[in-house]
């Protein structure tokens, strides 16, 4: 199955829903960052929710950033996504390894620990929208359930899962977000809550070859689900040497002079895709001229 997000509405227009299969893009992140299983699971969950929240934005140039700052050994994670489900991200400490939980599952909650979740939406307005909530469990899905309810005042159910294979590659990844829209009846909420509470974990459903649509059908079938769109999702970094040069110009004249004084080419590494850009002394001098001219 290639990665994609299914978008749906249900119970007339009382509920909106997203479900994703993201195995390939999470595996791509693992290969780029050489993450351990627990770090792959944490980053994979955040990439998955990021891809789904990205497509909630309306304009092609909108940018979503999800940032977790935490006291657990992973220290922090960052994911950005656009409205076309192009997503990328990194974890501060990709090499963290922890014992499995008693139930045999990866201990994402412990790897993340306590901290703060920030959701930053750059919608092309003067100021970006910033929503911030504390982490509830560090398991990420619960933290977003809390975020949606308390920061966006939109009661939501969020499920996220990453299943790691015995060779540490990503075997399954995906999730769903179900959101109760204003005016939704109590009986619909009750039916859906009950369904979700009795459902298997999202990785088990994906392991049974259920598509995102089939997963939403399981949750929302009883209240009438209508599928609207299928959006391909992918890990994509838009860094270029030109962008790196612009970033260097923006740090200022004095800092560029210091880089030149070191008399060595400099290397700039993209956190998202691990590409290294080398800038020679001549190139730095040219950037200094541009910074001076500006």
The residue ranges that bind Zn ion (CB under 5 A) are 237, 239, 270, 272-273
- Least distance (Å) from Zn ion to the CB of residue 272? 4
Per the CB < 8 A criterion, the answer to whether 8 and 227 are in contact is yes
Q: How many CB atoms lie within 10 A of CB 280?
A: 11
Q: Which residue lies nearer to Zn ion by CB, 59 or 238?
A: 238
User: If we measure between CA atoms, which residue out of 49, 40, 275 comes closest to residue 144?
Assistant: 49
Let me know how many helices (H) and strands (E) the chain has, helices first.
10, 13
- Least distance (Å) from Zn ion to the CB of residue 242? 12
Q: Quick one: angle between helices 253-261 and 281-293, nearest 10?
A: 160
Q: Which residue lies nearer to Zn ion by CB, 260 or 273?
A: 273
Q: Which residue lies nearer to Zn ion by CB, 11 or 91?
A: 91
Determine the Cα–Cα distance for residues 271 and 30; give it in Å rounded to an integer.
13
- Least distance (Å) from Zn ion to the CB of residue 31? 14
- Cα angle 257, 264, 288 (rounded to 5 degrees) comes to 30
- Least distance (Å) from Zn ion to the CB of residue 243? 9
Q: Which residue lies nearer to Zn ion by CB, 201 or 247?
A: 247
Q: Which residue lies nearer to Zn ion by CB, 51 or 216?
A: 51
Contacts with 294 (C-beta within 8 Å, 6 or more apart), sequence order:
249
- Least distance (Å) from Zn ion to the CB of residue 130? 24
Q: Which residue lies nearer to Zn ion by CB, 271 or 286?
A: 271
Q: Which two tokens stand for residue 206?
A: 């994906």
- Least distance (Å) from Zn ion to the CB of residue 271? 8
User: If we measure between CA atoms, which residue out of 187, 159, 170, 191 comes closest to residue 49?
Assistant: 159
């Amino acid at each position: 199955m290639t990665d994609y997000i299914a978008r749906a509405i249900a119970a007339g227009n009382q509920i909106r829903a997203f479900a994703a299969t993201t195995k390939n893009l999470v595996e791509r992140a693992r290969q780029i960052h050489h993450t351990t299983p627990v770090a792959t699971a944490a980053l994979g969950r955040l990439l998955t929710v990021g891809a789904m929240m990205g497509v909630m934005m309306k304009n092609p140039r909108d940018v979503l950033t999800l940032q977790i700052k935490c006291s657990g050994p992973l220290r922090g994670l960052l994911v950005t996504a656009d409205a076309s489900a192009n997503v990328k991200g990194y974890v501060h400490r990709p090499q963290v390894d922890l014992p499995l939980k008693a139930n045999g599952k990866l201990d994402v909650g412990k790897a993340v620990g306590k901290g703060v979740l920030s959701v930053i939406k750059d919608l092309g307005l003067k100021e970006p929208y910033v929503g911030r909530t504390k982490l509830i469990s560090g398991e990420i899905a619960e933290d977003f359930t809390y975020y949606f309810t308390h920061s966006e005042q939109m009661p939501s159910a969020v499920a996220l899962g990453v299943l790691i294979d015995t060779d540490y590659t990503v075997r399954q990844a995906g999730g769903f977000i179900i959101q109760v829209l204003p005016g939704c009846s109590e009986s619909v909420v009750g039916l859906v809550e009950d369904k979700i509470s009795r459902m298997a974990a999202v990785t088990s459903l994906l392991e049974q070859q259920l598509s995102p649509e089939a997963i939403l059908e399981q949750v929302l079938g009883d209240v009438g689900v209508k599928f609207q769109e299928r959006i391909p999702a992918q890990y994509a970094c838009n860094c270029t040497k030109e962008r790196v040069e612009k970033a260097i110009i923006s740090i200022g004249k004095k800092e560029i002079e210091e880089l030149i004084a070191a008399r060595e080419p400099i290397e700039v590494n993209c956190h998202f895709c691990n590409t290294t850009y080398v800038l020679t002394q001549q190139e730095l001098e040219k950037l200094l001229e541009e910074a001076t001219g500006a």
